[in-house]
Amino acid sequence: MTKPTVIPGQGSQEGEEDLLLKHMHQVAESRGGRYAVHLHLSKLKASNRTPHFLRIAARSFENLESSHDAALFRMTNQDLVLSCRDVPIDEIDEVLFKVRTLFSDDPMTAAQEGSLDDRFTTWYDLAQEEDLANFKKAIANLQVQAEHIKDERERAKKAVEAARGMAGKPLTPKNLVGINQILQSTRISDLVRQQAAVRILPPDHGEILFREYFVSMADLQKRVAPNVNLFSSNWLFQYLTETVDKRMLVIVGRLDFSRAKGPISLNLNISTVLSQEFQNFHHVVGEYTDKVVVEIQLNDIFADVANFHYAREILQSCGYRVLIDGLTPLSLQFFDPGVLMADYVKITWGPEYAGDVPPKRLAEMHETITSAGKDAVVLTRVDSETAIKWGLKLGIQRFQGYFVDKLVERMVEKGIV
Amino acid sequence: MAELPCQENLLLDYLRRLESQKEGRKAVRIMLSGLRPFNRRKQHIRAAVSSFEPLVEDLRGQLFSLKSLDLMFIFKTSALPQVETVVQKIRFLFSDDPLLENEAGSDKKFVVWFDVAEQFEEILHTVQDLVEAKTRQVSEATEHRMDTRAMLKARQEKGEPLTPAVLARVEQALISADLSNLVRRQFICAFDQKMRPEPFFSELFISISDLRETVVPGVSLTANRWLFQHFTETLDRRMLAMLSKTDRITISGDISFNLNVNTLLSNEFLTFDDNITASRRGSMIVELQQVDIFADLGAFIFAREFMQDKGYRICLDGLNHQTLEIVDRERLGVDLMKIIWSPELVDRGSEMHNKIRHLIHKAGENRVVLCRVDNREAIDFGRSVGITLYQGRHVENLIAEDNRRKDLFKIKRRIERSSEGKKKRKKPLE
């Protein structure tokens, strides 16, 4: 089985949707034993739809394509469509199973293959008129989506070019040198934002837990490296945050802690906590250490757990509170944050968790949250009421995010904060 | 500098004086250290301490407030009812804490009672341990803290810290460098009853210290965690290139090597994978660092499924006594795990030992490796908790010794055979 090779979404005149239609046309005469499987990869959560994930998923079908009458089409919306004839279902199942396990952390693959709840694949028996008609409808649908996506891409590209936003050259050690130097001397105090974490008390009350001070990274990038994507290397970005830390300590250190109403929080690397700069900051804070929460990233902790415990003990014994940032509902499945003995634990919400999480997993998460101390858990990036409901269901009462900002505004207006 | 007497030392001193009159006394230890942090704030500790004050004022007992936040109260048996009331009050204070909620079915207790006369030795040991732990903490403190003095010291001992500029230079140099002479190989072995090594697989790695001496003498490549982590991604690509050209390094048996999750998802790896035969995949073990795994768990899970499906095995590298307590390894779904040897593993006591035993039991035979084994003590410890696989300098020495023994044996056999031959040859002459 041959089909023209096309790199999807890379400017080919004829999209894979068109090729699929053409293919359907070619095989229209002999539909006996022919069937199609539509894999709805576009419905996976965003973090699972990165190009290298999708490339690897598509490669899983290579053997099938070379040994059978089977052809894989990669749709513009990232779905895959497999068309084949007389291929033993068991062999297809085997490959589908592999692909499912690749995405096993995704809510999309939670349901059993072929079960009523299964939204991962749709099968079409093309020998049946009804299925054939439905399949054609599905392709038409994919074509519409493809057009839409292409328009969208075009617009996004222009927007990026105009704003010189996140895209750009990758961050390398070479350009890091210059960026780091600029970062040390450029004014950044005007890029510092605040966001409150709030304890929500029914029916319509709230109290502010702390206000997080942070630098908007998108704005920072525009200022210090408009042509470089600071997020292209996880590790080099982390390195830059060490410099940001030191600038932040100076900026936040200018606050009058004796008159600050509530606690503030700021993100720091463990190496920063153990640095001279933090000692200077500590000097400024004086006796008001209980008004400062230090947020530490989970991956920083896993880089050296002993060092974390050492820093945590110093901070806590001085009266600071320690918060662990960067957990997700996913990471809760792999370890119990309670063991890290922090005062707070921040879990990052994502809309992909809104779907149906199997009850067993939900129960486990509930247990983990109880063990961490539900009064210690803050759900962050809360952008909708769904997120708050999800949190409340798990016993979480503390929230942070755009949606919470709006709530806080309303509460402030009503004078109930 | 003279050290101020801390409560641990005072307690030890008090116990020694008590030795001659230990009858009619009891002790109770309140494990505030086991509470969750939100229950261990200053006001909580103060509340607990002040509950004992009336008893102390009445001279019914002595209270020691330890560095770990635990309280130790030693009192006359006649005061037991009052002490029980106080303890009950403190329990009530923390009744919402998981430690108290789960106390019934757990060995972790909030309150431990002692009879001083009967359990004197036990108390004494506990306190001695506390004093030692405190001294150790002090010495660790000087190790971690990066003040000016510490930085100067590190610079003298380990070299200039790596900067982005130097890293850029090093990475540039590595693009074309042939690193095959820097590749080292260490065997992961099991041992039989006579301590003879049986190789299980071998790890190939690029010696960072040799690399440093060759490329950037005087610079500490590991000084900045994040820059070093980025650097390892460059090394990954060199390693893959070398493994593709097997004529450069002769490899026999199963091998393992370190890679980053990012590398596994890169084009370089896919090309590497395309070019090796399916059967070789089965003989390869990819070692991943936990910092890398937890930097993006989603990517790790994806990569793990992809790799295991291809037939590679995955090894979680770099577990230590602290991470063993945190990570749920079963769920991580790796094939092998490496625990870094440290005397701390022994010092952590039976709770840690049981944890490792449990881990090995769950993981199955020959799944857990004790690495950086540099002395016999490590192997003895490993055996005591059921570890069967070892890696490190000491293991290499044992292999060398075993090889020498085998060589000697061969020579001996040859001498024997040749002398037998001489005898045989002599015979017809007779």
Q: Which residue has the higher pLDDT, A152 or B374?
A: B374
A373 reaches B (C-beta below 8 A): yes
A182 reaches B (C-beta below 8 A): no
Contacts of A328 in chain B (CB under 8 A): 297
The predicted structure's pLDDT at residue A9: 43
Rounded to whole angstroms, how far apart are CA atoms A45 and B394? 48
Instruction: Tell me which of A10-24, A330-344, A389-403, B41-55 is least confident.
Output: A10-24
Contacts of A276 in chain B (CB under 8 A): 146-148
What average pLDDT does the structure give for chain B?
Answer: 84
Backbone φ, ψ for residue A255 (5° rounding): -65, 150
Contacts of B167 in chain A (CB under 8 A): 173, 176
* Model confidence pLDDT, tens digit, residues B166-216: 999 888 888 877 788 888 999 999 998 888 999 999 999 998 888 888 888
Contacts of A102 in chain B (CB under 8 A): 302, 305-306, 309
Which of A201, A240, A256 has the alpha carbon at shortest distance from A375?
Answer: A201
Asked whether A53 and B302 are in contact (CB, 8 A), the reply is yes
Rounded to whole angstroms, how far apart are CA atoms A141 and B249? 54
* Model confidence pLDDT, tens digit, residues A230-281: 888 889 999 999 999 999 999 999 999 989 888 999 999 999 999 889 999 9
Which of B288, B348, B344 has the alpha carbon at shortest distance from B316?
Answer: B288
Asked whether B367 and B398 are in contact (CB, 8 A), the reply is no
Spacing of C-alpha B428 from chain mean position: 67
The predicted structure's pLDDT at residue A31: 83
pLDDT over 80 at B371, yes or no: yes
Contacts of B146 in chain A (CB under 8 A): 271, 274-276
Class of domain A169-414: alpha beta
Reported confidence tier of residue A282, pLDDT bands at 50, 70, 90 = very high
Asked whether A290 and A318 are in contact (CB, 8 A), the reply is no
Instruction: Tell me which of A25-34, A240-249, B339-348, B394-403 is least confident.
Output: A25-34
Reported confidence tier of residue B4, pLDDT bands at 50, 70, 90 = very low
Rounded to whole angstroms, how far apart are CA atoms A45 and A150? 20
Rounded to whole angstroms, how far apart are CA atoms B257 and B201? 11
pLDDT over 60 at A173, yes or no: yes
* Contacts of residue A289, Cβ cutoff 8 Å, sequence gap at least 6: A282, A318, A319, A320
Who among A53, A173, A316 is closest to B37 (CB)?
A: A316
Query: What are the C-alpha distances in Å from B12 to residues A203, A216, A290, B33, B132?
Result: 54, 54, 33, 19, 11
Query: What are the C-alpha distances in Å from A345 to residues A323, A329, A372, A410, B233?
Result: 5, 12, 8, 26, 30
* Model confidence pLDDT, tens digit, residues B288-310: 998 899 888 889 999 999 999 88
Rounded to whole angstroms, how far apart are CA atoms A373 and B98? 8
Q: Pull the structure tokens for residue A49.
A: 């739809």
Residue labelled with tokens 């998460």: A365
Query: What are the residue ranges spanned by the domains of chain A?
Result: 16-160, 169-414
Q: What percent of chain B has pLDDT over 70?
A: 89
Asked whether B427 and B421 are in contact (CB, 8 A), the reply is no
State how beta strands A292-297 and A321-327 pair: parallel
* 3-class state of residue A363 by DSSP: helix
The predicted structure's pLDDT at residue B135: 62
Please name the residue of chain B whose CA is at the shortest distance from the CA of residue A322: B37
Rounded to whole angstroms, how far apart are CA atoms B129 and A384? 52
Judged by CB atoms closer than 8 Å, whether chains meet at B326 and A336 is answered as yes
What average pLDDT does the structure give for chain A?
Answer: 86
Q: For A295-311, what is the mean pLDDT?
A: 90
Which of A254, A248, A249, A252 has the alpha carbon at shortest distance from A220?
Answer: A248
Q: Which residue has the higher pLDDT, B213 or A157?
A: B213
The predicted structure's pLDDT at residue A6: 42
Rounded to whole angstroms, how far apart are CA atoms A282 and A314? 11
* Model confidence pLDDT, tens digit, residues B110-127: 898 999 888 888 888 888
Q: Pull the structure tokens for residue B394.
A: 């000491």
Q: Which residue has the higher pLDDT, B360 or B315?
A: B315
Rounded to whole angstroms, how far apart are CA atoms A18 and A80? 14
Asked whether B19 and B13 are in contact (CB, 8 A), the reply is no
Rounded to whole angstroms, how far apart are CA atoms A81 and A121? 10
Q: Which residue has the higher pLDDT, A335 or B53?
A: B53
Residue labelled with tokens 């989506």: A145
CB pairs under 8 A between A and B: 144
Q: Pull the structure tokens for residue A272.
A: 């920063």
Q: Pull the structure tokens for residue A303.
A: 């880089």
Residue labelled with tokens 């804490």: B97
- ipTM for the complex shown: 0.71
Q: For B48-56, what is the mean pLDDT?
A: 88
Rounded to whole angstroms, how far apart are CA atoms B28 and B87? 9
Which of B70, B322, B226, B144 has the alpha carbon at shortest distance from A340?
Answer: B322
Reported confidence tier of residue A8, pLDDT bands at 50, 70, 90 = very low
Who among B148, B165, B322 is closest to A309 (CB)?
A: B322
Reported confidence tier of residue B58, pLDDT bands at 50, 70, 90 = confident
Rounded to whole angstroms, how far apart are CA atoms A289 and A292? 5
Residue labelled with tokens 């030191």: A246
The predicted structure's pLDDT at residue A176: 93
pLDDT over 50 at A59, yes or no: yes
* Contacts of residue B383, Cβ cutoff 8 Å, sequence gap at least 6: none
Which stretches of A164-233 are DSSP H helices?
Answer: 173-185, 217-224
Who among A173, A234, A303 is closest to B167 (CB)?
A: A173
pLDDT over 70 at A417, yes or no: no
Q: How far is A26 from chain B (nearest CA, A)?
A: 32
* Model confidence pLDDT, tens digit, residues A328-361: 888 888 888 888 889 999 999 887 777 666 777 7
Rounded to whole angstroms, how far apart are CA atoms A382 and A392? 12
**DSSP assignment, residue A290?**
G
Q: Which residue has the higher pLDDT, B382 or A116?
A: B382
The predicted structure's pLDDT at residue B12: 84
Contacts of A316 in chain B (CB under 8 A): 37
pLDDT over 70 at B145, yes or no: no
Rounded to whole angstroms, how far apart are CA atoms B256 and B264? 14
Q: Which fold has domain B162-407?
A: TIM Barrel (3.20.20)
Q: Pull the structure tokens for residue B325.
A: 């307590």
Contacts of A370 in chain B (CB under 8 A): 98
Q: Which fold has domain A16-160?
A: Alpha-Beta Plaits (3.30.70)
**Cβ atoms < 10 Å from Cβ of A359:** 8
Reported confidence tier of residue B284, pLDDT bands at 50, 70, 90 = very high
Rounded to whole angstroms, how far apart are CA atoms B99 and B110? 7
Burial string for B165-186 (b: 16+ CB within 10 Å, else e) reads: ebbbbbbeebeeeebeebbeeb
Instruction: Tell me which of B113-117, B155-159, B259-263 is least confident.
Output: B155-159
Which of A310, A318, A249 has the alpha carbon at shortest distance from B150?
Answer: A310
To test the contact with chain A by mutation, choose from B31, B32, B36, B95 the residue with the greatest count of A C-beta atoms within 10 A, namely B36
Q: How far is B321 from chain A (nearest CA, A)?
A: 9
Q: What percent of chain B has pLDDT over 90?
A: 33
Q: For A51-72, what is the mean pLDDT?
A: 89
Judged by CB atoms closer than 8 Å, whether chains meet at B322 and A306 is answered as yes
